[in-house]
Structure 1
């Protein structure tokens, strides 16, 4: 049985918007197996930053970030919360915070990078490309 906060979150917003390693063709896309891809959208509400082997998004206007929007289950949401180190009881303490974003498919959850991006490079193109990194073992 899932905790009440997950049941409530998925009932209110059963979608997630992804912009990095969870997108189709990237190394974490398998976390969305069984979810329904609704399609792509472009949001100008976010700026991506190069964190290294994965990107991080911040609320900051941009020329546009390409996102994929999925219809998800409560199991997907629980797994993504774990993957993104989202902490329901202390959202600012995890690596990512889960917040809502408006998409052309309706509201969706999006994971925003919590640490400072000082010294990180903003990604001004429409999307992020996976760097050629070998032997990287991490959650992402």
Structure 2
């Protein structure tokens, strides 16, 4: 199984997530050294000085080849093995700067969701005795 970082229509709840059927979800992750652009129906990440948000999946060999077909490798995207912010090496699909010329960046570098930024962590307190439960 290969770790694959996805940041657009392959994420959970997005239109192409079914292409990852059978792949294990490994959690949300971040990829540095890339910027995420809005191409209308889908985003495209290209090398740059940003940090993008996405999801990590464990994909088998045939699944990886299916993703290559979906992503039109090597014409539209190229598959690269890149280190994620947590040090995990993962495959991801990147375009080239000329493909995103004149396009807007995806807000918060997170396609399909808006992250919440808090100035302080939320304090979780235990409920008083006899309150709450199963």
| TM norm structure 1 | 0.73
**Which position in structure 2 is the counterpart of 1:110?**
92
Number of residue-to-residue matches in the alignment? 111
Runs of 4+ in 1 over 6 A off after TM superposition: none
For structure 1, which runs of at least 5 residues remain unmatched after alignment? 1-9, 88-93, 131-140
**Which position in structure 2 is the counterpart of 1:27?**
15
Q: Is the 8 A contact 2:36 2:109 kept in 1?
A: no
For structure 2, which runs of at least 5 residues remain unmatched after alignment? 114-134
Relative distance call for 1:75 and 1:37 in structure 2 (3 A) is same
Q: Distance in 2 between matches of 1:43 and 1:98?
A: 14
- Displacement after TM superposition at 1:116 (Å): 2.4
Indicate yes or no: 2:24 matched with 1:36. yes
Q: Distance in 1 between matches of 2:109 and 2:76?
A: 23
RMSD: 1.7
